[in-house]
Structures are given as C-alpha cells and as structure tokens.
Chain A
Amino acid sequence: MPAKEKLIEIKDLQITFGAGRKKFVAVDHVNFDIYKGETFSLVGESGSGKTTIGRAITRINPVSSGEILFKGQRISGKISKELDREVIKKCQMIFQDPMASLNERAKVDYIVSEGLYNFHLYKDEDDRKRKVEAALREVGLLPEFASRFPHEFSGGQRQRIGIARALIMEPEFVVADEPISALDVSIRAQVLNLLNRLRKSRGLTYLFIAHDLSVVRFISDRIAVIHKGRIVELAEAEELFLHPLHPYTKALLSAVPIPDPELEKKKKLLVYDPSVHDYSKDGPVWDEILPEHYVYGNQRELDQYRREIQQTQA
C-alpha cells in the first residue's frame, strides 16, 4: 500500500481564549493528520472544541501553541501574505446553520461570487457569470436562482448555496461544520449524497464536524472523538464502532438513536464520568493500541483496553 499523502497535519495544537484568570483552554494538545481524499470526522458534544479546530485550520481562530501544516507548509501563526491568500482559497468552510450563514440582503449571485470578487479570480463579467452558473448546477440548483434572495429558499436549498459558495473557490480541503444538523431528515440524505459525490468528482478532502455519530459512520473514513478539548480516541470508522475503547466513546455510542424499536428499547445508556480516570500517579499518553487505532489513557487503562480487545476477538 503506498503511503498516504498527508494534506493537513496538526501538531500539538493548543488554542486558548482569554488570558490570566479567565483563560480557557478550548483545544488541548491535539495531534492528528488528515490524508488527501479522505473524510475525517471530529465528533464530540457541544463545547468540546471541535468547531474551534476547524476554524483554526481555516485561519479564523488564532493558534496559541503548536502548529498546523497544509501540504507540509506551516499555515498557523504568522505567515506570508501570499500563503495566507492561498490558504483562504484552498481551505473552505461549510457552516452549520443555513438560515444564519447567508447574507440576507445579498442576492445568491453575489453570495456565491464573493470569494471570486475578493481574489479577482475571473477574467471578465461573463466568466464570473459562467462560474456562478456552473457552481449552482453542480450543487443541483438552477442557474436562474442567482437573481433571488436567500429568504426565498428552503433549508436544504440554502445549504446547497453555502456549498456552492465554498466550491467556486476550487478548494482542496473543506471543513464541513455540522452541515446537516439543522436540516430535515428527508433533506439530510440529499446533502450527504451531494457531499459524497463532490468528494469523488473533485477529489476533495473533508473535515466533517458533527455530534451525531450515526451520520458520521456513514460518511467518514476515520473518526476522532473529542472531549473537553482533548482527542480521546481515533480510529477508522468501522473499527471505532466495533471496538470502542475509551469510556467517553462508549457513552457517545450508547446515546446514538438507532432506528429500530426492538434494539433501541433494550439499549442501556452509558454516562461518562471523567472521575474514573485516576491520573494522579500514572500520567495518560496517546497510544496506538491497534494499527491505526489510537486511544488516550494511562498504562493501567491501556492494559485494560488491550484485554478488552482480546476478549472481543476470542
């Protein structure tokens, strides 16, 4: 198997808000890589710092320490103006709430081409129009929609406009921040299909941020579970569902609603209690417990996880 190309590398990333007594550590020593062409998911409850990581990659939030590499180049902290512009073009973001993330007073035409205006990525007016039309078609909207305002569209259509706006910049990497949480069930499937199709046709790489593990299992290649700013477990999607090790992952999995009444009514809800970890003597480490399956814990816990794996395999 050829070595996978790393598109994004995150090294010892720390992000804090405020200073002094009010300092709050939102992201705490996070390490992971995102390979080219994959969908990497970050899963955790609200306030766990998953969005903050996504925003740090797109250079919206500043990084306190550690670094982020994009194609081997550092893109965090102070960088040259050219690189900054490059990153803004190549790393795009799709936002959670399509009702709030579009400018109510602008026409779709302007919303979609705002990035083109900013970087002057078009030859003339005709070229720009063509690009907007192509982007709208690609996300399954009609080119006529360009002259309308956002309030004329349904939630699913608005999310498509948000996707078109990201696509027109021809990004390589897209941060999708809960792109379907605010949508209706019947539309969720359509948007998921669209994202998957675009990944194939354009060779995109996604960072998919979500709190709902059931959706994540369908769409992602690898999943990282984040709790209070720390990644506690990282594995391939199926592996994580088959052998969840960290108690927080287990709690999260137990909370996922299953659309099967028999299973769902038998299900036992696990609640994660962080006080089960005794890190006073034996400090926790980030360890590869199985190939490509990482978990955060101290030696005693890691031993216990290994026993669990043996039991399930036996």
Chain B
Amino acid sequence: MERTPLLSAKDIEIEFTLRGKVLKAIRRCSLDIYEGETMAIVGESGSGKSVFTKSFLGMLDANGRITGGSITYDGVDISQYKTEKEWMTIRGKKIAMVMQDPMTSLNPLKKIGKQIQESIELNQGIHGEQAKKMAVEMLEKVGIPDAARRANQYPHEFSGGMRQRVVIAIAAACRPQILICDEPTTALDVTIQAQILDLIRNLQRELNMTVIYITHDLGVVANVADRVAVMYAGQIVEYGTVNEIFYDAWHPYTWALLSSLPQLGIKGEELPTIEGTPPNLFNEVKGDAFAPRNKQALDVDFEEEPPFFAVSETHKAKTWYLDPRSPKIEQPQSIRRLREKMERERK
C-alpha cells in the first residue's frame, strides 16, 4: 500500500556558521511522516535530532540555514520559505512544538490563561471572552484541576509536571496537524513522565494529531512510538516500526544504544558502552560516521558511505552489514539476549 506522507523531508542539509567555520549539522537526511502516526527520533545529544525537526518550523538559530534538500508539506516546499510571514502560516497553526524544559518555556510575567489565550487568538482568530473560555477548556483538557482559578495564576505557582501540561495546552490550542515534542519528559520525574506521555497520547487521539517525539530515552520510545528513526552524527542511520527497531535492529549504532541500557544489564557485569566520541562535524566525514567507534567495522566502512539497505518494506538501515557482498555478521549477543529476555518476561 502506498500512502502519501503528510510531511516529507528529502536530503536535508543544514549548516551552521560558528566562529568563521562551517558545521554540517545535518547531512542529507530524509524522513517521511504519515498522518496520524507517532514517530520517534532517537539519538545522543549533538546528533542533530532537534535541529532537524526545528527546520520543519523555520526555527533554526540565526547562524543556521538549510543548504540543500526539500521539505514538502501540503504540496509546498517549505524549506524555501524565507520570511517570518511565510513561516507564520505553518508555525503553530500547522506544526507546533513542545519544548524540553517547562521551567523556561513559559513567560513568567504572564498569567497562564493569558498565555494560552494568546495562542488561540493568534492562530484561530477568536478573540476576547470566547478565547478566554476556550483557554480554560484547554486547561481542563490537559488535566489541570480547578482550571478557571488556575488560569489566573502565574507559572511559578505551578509544579514542573503541571507547567509541562500548560506548555502542551498552548501547543495543542492551535489545533496543529503535527505536534513535535522535543524531550517532553526529560526534566520530569518518572511518575509524572508516565502521566504526560498518557496525556499526549489522549490529545493525539482526540485532536487527530500526528506526533513526532525527539528523545534519547528508549523506554519512552517503546511506550509511545509507532515508528522509530535512529539518528547519528546528523544522519538517520536506521528506521522502521518500533518492533523492528527493538527486536531486529541492524545498524551497529542501534545495537550499541540498546545494549547499553541499564535495564538490560546483568548485575555484577559491566554494561556495554560506546567508546569514543561522535565525529567532529566541522570536518568532512568519510565513510560510515560510526565506524571509528565500532569494533566490528568493516574496511569499507572507513572508505565509503553506506546506502540504505532494506530489511523489510518498512525497515531500512544504512550499514554495509546488509550488503550481500559483506561478510556474514550476526547481531550481537546482547540484542539476541534482549529478545530472549523479553520473550521470557512476556510470559
């Protein structure tokens, strides 16, 4: 079945100019987002997952720019947008974003209700009393008790979890088609984290949204995602359905990420770790960017960049391991152990 993607990023390249030097943050990155799905983008800090999604909203920092590729949304290539005016037709209205830190993403001088009202007035063209009423309704929807009273309070009177609910309310009040959640729970406690994930899931169903999660927590990914994309050094290296990534990963970086999880560690034994550091993106990356940290790297990994190989119709990995010419490489023991362990626990 051939579905047309809601948003399609193709061969995106993003560069930043820093102290006269050029940093290639995103190196030809492609991703399709389908309507109604939940996509999770995973990777370590600095892998470019935030920068990549920020480019869908024209929210790159002033020293950054898209230097190649296209982002097709609604039949238009939005990567060509230049002015704020153009971006304002997308940002908030069509694609909205929830930031990581609820402590800094609200205006401390404005009442909560007012901040939600603002987003309704700006994006839906409803004003005054009616917008105020909608703001209170939105607060109720995100599970804040006694919403009418709470709307008249300031952000400092809210706890971290409650503030994140408000931030979500502001984003959802614009009725966007796509909601991007950038590490929505990293700053929160586990118990609150689970509640926020539930909330986003319910809103998604109710408002018919497509959700993109950016996270480094694979537990969160397992909970929410339909599909997963793994990012490393400015590229997507593997993507597939959530089960394919967790049970049948093929890229060595995905293996390393999964096997370093403390949840899967065996007590008394060392956890497998990823040695070394990610490549410096100021320099040209040759071959497979992960090769220097991969103990099982093939010679060709250092020479030539691998293309995507299909594992299944929905699952692709950018590694020479899947090339029929490469020597037979088995998935590492930890991945197999993960699968076995999970099968046991499922019983």
Contact = CB atoms under 8 A, between A and B. Distances in A.
B260 A255 contact: no
A261 B243 contact: yes
A125 B223 CA distance: 55
Interface stretch (B2-10, B71-79, B212-220, B295-303): B212-220
Contact of A214 (B243, B257, B263): B263
A262 B243 contact: yes
Contact of A252 (B44, B191, B267): B191
Interface in A246-288: 251-252, 254-265, 267, 269, 271-272
Nearest to A181: B186
A214 B263 CA distance: 5
Contacts of B195: 269, 271
Secondary structure type dominating chain B contacts: helix
Contact of A261 (B192, B246, B261): B246
B207 interface: no
Contact of B223 (A46, A212, A213, A257): A257
Interface stretch (B16-24, B56-64, B100-108, B268-276): B268-276
Nearest to A155: B45
Contact of A186 (B189, B193, B260, B263): B260
A263 B345 contact: yes
Contacts of B221: 259, 261
B225 interface: yes
Contacts of A45: 189-192
A187 B275 CA distance: 9
B271 A264 contact: no
Contacts of B272: 189
Interface string B326-347: 0000000000001000100110
Interface string B178-200: 00000000000111111100100
A186 B223 CA distance: 20
A272 B189 CA distance: 14
A296 B222 CA distance: 33
Contact of A189 (B193, B273, B345): B273
A260 B222 contact: yes
Contacts, number: 123
A229 to B, nearest CB: 16
Given A192-B262, A259-B258, A263-B346, A212 B190 contact: yes
Given A184-B45, A215-B262, A261-B225, A256 B219 contact: yes
B191 A185 contact: no
Given A46-B189, A185-B218, A213-B190, A263 B262 contact: no
Contact of A257 (B222, B267, B345): B222
A269 B194 contact: yes
B189 A219 contact: no
Contacts of A254: 194
Contacts of A65: none
A212 to B, nearest CB: 6
B219 A186 contact: no
A258 B218 CA distance: 8
Looking at B218, B222, B260, B262, the one whose CB has the most chain A CB atoms below 10 A away is B262
B135 interface: no
Interface string B220-251: 11110100000000000000001100100000
Interface string A165-197: 000000000000000000011111110110011
A154 B280 CA distance: 13
21 contacts: A186-B257, A186-B273, A188-B262, A189-B261, A189-B262, A189-B271, A189-B274, A193-B273, A215-B263, A218-B263, A257-B190, A257-B193, A259-B246, A259-B258, A261-B221, A261-B242, A262-B243, A262-B346, A263-B345, A265-B223, A267-B223
The 9 closest A-B pairs by CB, nearest first: A257-B219, A189-B260, A264-B222, A189-B271, A255-B194, A218-B262, A261-B242, A259-B218, A214-B263
Given A45-B190, A185-B260, A186-B274, 5 more contacts: A254-B194, A257-B194, A265-B222, A265-B223, A269-B194
